[in-house]
Amino acid sequence: MEISERKYKMVKEDFENTKVNFPLVGKKAPSFNLKAFYKGEFKDVNLEDYLGKWLVLVFYPADFTFICPTELSKFADYYEDFKNENSEILSISKDTEFVHKAWWDNSDSIKKIKFPMLADPTGKMCKNYGTYMEEEGLSLRASIIIDPEGIVKSVDIHDNSIGRSVKEVLRKLKASKYVAENVGEVCPVDWVPGKESLKPGIELVGKI
């Protein structure tokens, strides 16, 4: 009994000390101004540069790792598909822009990348977007979609041992665009362009 009470107190303390990050969805995207490796150069990149376009933020733990190059390489393969949706991709990790360049120079997978690779060595952007892991000093794997007005529409954050689906990120982007352009409609499960959407109303209650 004494052991279980001690465990209960420890769990209770952990729970009370846990910092709750409220969802960003529906809120203004936190501003950022970072250095990036882009098209063979070092450039300044900020959120305001992309107002008027859809933006896909791709957070990942670190350069010169294992799952990360498979993901970024796949985003590079689909880059034109994202651009066709009036969107831009920005990848973000805590590595410096110099490390990004070294990775780009040495990896055939990363050399395919044509989108900006942002450097967040202080972790400020990762913290503002809720992806920062204090103990590891790295970012979680996250995909965040921002609309042309700078409002966050989708956030997907998960364990770093799990690679994401680039096709699913693109599908979410297309769904976000569709509902923005077709006010009053919503996208049901597994919706893709060409499939039927729904228009919520009292006549649909209990009929789906």
| Catalytic residue positions, numbered | 68
CB 136 within 8 A of CB 48: no
CB atoms within 10 A of CB 48: 11
- What is the spatial distance between Cα 189 and Cα 205, in angstroms, rounded to a whole number? 17
- In single-letter form, the type of residue at position 166 comes to V
Please give the full DSSP string across 135-199, using - where no structure is assigned.
TTTEEPEEEEEE-TTSBEEEEEEE-TTS---HHHHHHHHHHHHHHHHSTT-B--TT--TTS--B-
Residues in the chain: 208
